[in-house]
Structure 1
Amino acid sequence: MMPPLVISIQSQVVFGHVGNSAAVFPMQAAGLEVAAIPTVLFSNQPAYPTLRGAPLPPDLFADLLRGAWERGLPQRAAWLMTGYIGSVEVGHLVADFVARAKAANPDLRYLCDPVMGDHGPGLYVPAELAQVIRDGLLPLADLTTPNSFELGHLAGRAISGMADLQAAAAGLHLAPGATLIATGCMLDDSPADHLESVILGSGGMTRHPTRRLAVALPGTGDLFAGLIVAGLGKGRSLSQAVDVAQDLTSVALARAGLIGASEVVLSDPDFRAALLTL
């Protein structure tokens, strides 16, 4: 029996762990097959003193998508996930690909991680690309994993309490039956020194607090989304997958803080061992 196939469309770097370079390994280590399609190819994440590479030209990206169709990947994939996109033109190509893939494979589930900003840097993609994500990708999503800044930007309101989360979820124009996982939330009633992931969907609402670490690094959301897909692909419930993703992301962040890394690291022995038991 072949393992579940995941198509992962997001950034890729030569050095470090962000985008596909953070999300692919956990899914593969958990036993999933992954087809990774890059939206950008960089030497490293942008916080370093130098940055080489570039977003993929739209014609090259479209050619890679064409190759995915030629191999029959959308028709047999169990999951499709998208993260950092890099350009408006590629954003439109991604939206078209997701729509066609879901039409060709009704069992395909799509996780949209709307990577566009955070509380520190603010919005770090063009506003037009954020609009493509909001209007072109989110309505196709079965799951979406915005951080609290991204959710606030998409919904046009600050997120400070559960009422804000519920109103924001209602305003995202998600497809019927879609589920929102709001990540990195510090709500007015969150436990002290904790962040929360909050699941809001047709099955109700659940809150998942985790201790807040004194480290915030690139790649965190990419790793978290990959771990959710890994958990779901191995038969965990959504709540279980979120709990596992939070625990293992915390392990990766703690290791990064210990060694002074500039992004999440995937080398912690406990982290790697846990992936084999999903």
Structure 2
Amino acid sequence: MPHPPFVISIQSQVVFGHVGNSAALFPMQAAGLEVAAIPTVIFSNTPDYPTLRGRPLPPEFFSDLLQGARERGLAERARFIVSGYIGSPEVAEMVADFVAEAKALNPRLTYLCDPVMGDDGPGLYVPEAIADTMRDRLLPLADLATPNPFELSWLTGRRISTLTDLQAAKEALRTSQTGHLIVTGCTLDDTSEGWLESIILGPDGISRHPTEHLPIALPGTGDLFSGLVVAGLGSGHDLPHAVEMAQMLTARALGRAQALGAGEVVLSEPEFRCALLNLGPE
């Protein structure tokens, strides 16, 4: 009996709410993937609340967790590595070292880099040293990258308004020639009113994937989206289908949160869970 696809997910973790691994882990597992979750920070909640407890993992502690992953041979087993929010420059460098080592050991590995570093409202919310490591070390290793327009603009120093801007920005990023850039939450000059787009740019061209623009912006949306993309790929779907499925299920989670008045994405809606349990290729 074949083993399920194995994922190493290196992201933030919170006690309460759904961001980072606390958003991405459940959908990947519900879709039948096996996941090893390595935290980069452990917080009580997101910074959107009046108080915040916890801290980034000390570098020596994080290094010890990575060593444990090496000792268990996780890189050799993995089909995917996902990286998201990183809490310190030292940990960012260690993640880059680990991903490079894993890809050398396991050429079939797919690395998804979600460069979680900022958005239009708050601006850049990680130290520039972390953003620099994402640009200079992590993104060149990525087979898939999922920046939002703010992140892509910051990483490349280019304004993002048109497809031509996106193509120029992709060229400016030092990503793999065979990799795919998935720019999320795009509102380009020709995007239909009331819609957002995820736009895939890769060696096989460009595809645009519109979705209704919901009047709600919540922490964890991008983390959930990336986890759902990996869930779709691990379940046998091609990348465009995985992106569209991720958009649809992220919208369900946002709609459920809005209905409940929640401050973060909600993963408990029954049809959301059923869709993940039945996420096989058509």
User: TM-score under structure 1 normalisation?
Assistant: 0.99
Paired letter, 1:209: P
State the AA in 1 paired with 2:264: E
1:185 corresponds in structure 2 to 186
SS at match of 1:154: helix
| Letter in structure 2 aligned against 1:207 | R
Distance 2:173 2:250 in 1: 26
| 1:110 corresponds to | 111
Please tell me the residue identity of whatever aligns with 1:183. T
Alpha-carbon distance in structure 1 between the residues aligned to 2:102 and 2:27: 24
Partner in structure 2 of residue 150 of structure 1: 151
User: 2-side partners of 1:11 and 1:109: how far apart?
Assistant: 20
Q: Report 1:75-224 matches (<5 A).
A: 75-224=76-225
Match in the other structure for 1:33:
34
1:177-198 residue CA offsets vs partner (Å, 9 max, x unmatched): 0110000000000011000000
Alpha-carbon distance, 1:277 to partner: 1.1
Q: How many Å apart are 1:31 and its aligned residue?
A: 0.1
Q: Post-superposition, which runs of at least 4 consecutive aligned residues in structure 1 deviate over 2 A?
A: none
What are structure 2's unaligned runs of at least 5 residues?
Answer: none
In structure 2, distance between residues paired with 1:271 and 1:265: 10
What are the superposed Cα offsets for residues 136-163 of structure 1, whole Å, 9 maximum, x if unpaired? 1000000000011101111101111111
Match of 2:268, SS state, is coil
Return the letter of the residue paired with 1:131. Answer: D
Distance in 2, Cα, partners of 1:170 & 1:226: 26
Task: Give the Cα separation in 1 of the matches to 2:261 and 2:164.
Answer: 38
Between the aligned partners of 1:155 and 1:246, the Cα distance in structure 2 is 25
Local SS of the residue matching 1:110: strand
Query: Hey, what's the Cα distance between the residues in 1 that align with 2:169 and 2:4?
Result: 36
Amino acid at match of 1:250: A
- What residue number does 2:266 align with? 265
Q: Percent identity?
A: 67
Q: Which runs of 5+ in 1 are unaligned?
A: none
Offset of residue 128 of structure 1: 1.1
CA distance in structure 2 between the partners assigned to 1:155 and 1:196 by the alignment: 20
Residues 1:22 and 2:32 aligned together = no
Q: Does residue 68 of structure 1 match 2:72?
A: no
Instruction: Give, as a single letter, the amino acid of the residue that structure 2 aligns with 1:132.
Output: T
Query: In the TM superposition, what whole-angstrom CA distance separates every residue of 1:1-49 from its partner, at most 9, and x where no partner exists?
Result: 2100000000000000000000000000000000000000000011011
Matches of 1:196 and 1:148, distance apart in 2? 11
The residue that corresponds to 1:236 in the other structure is: 237
Task: Note the alpha carbon deviations across 1:122-142, whole angstroms, 9 max, x for none.
Answer: 000011110000001000000
Partner Cα distance (2:231, 2:215) in 1: 26
Question: Which region of structure 1 is more displaced relative to structure 2, 255-264 or 16-25?
Answer: 255-264
Cα offset, 1:73, TM superposition = 0.3
Cα separation, 1, equivalents of 2:261 and 2:270: 17
Distance in 2 separating the partners of 1:113 and 1:244 = 18
Q: What is the alpha-carbon distance in structure 2 between the residues aligned to residue 41 and residue 98 of structure 1?
A: 21
Question: What per-residue deviation string (whole Å, max 9, x for no partner) do you get for residues 107-129 of structure 1?
Answer: 11100000000000000001111
Q: Hey, what does 1:45 align to over in structure 2?
A: 46
Supply the distance in 2 between the matched residues of 1:211 and 1:155 (Cα, whole angstroms).
27
RMSD of aligned alpha carbons: 0.5
Matched length:
278
| Cα distance in 1, alignment partners of residues 276 and 48 from structure 2 | 28
Give me the whole-angstrom Cα distance separating, in 2, the residues matched to 1:81 and 1:42: 20
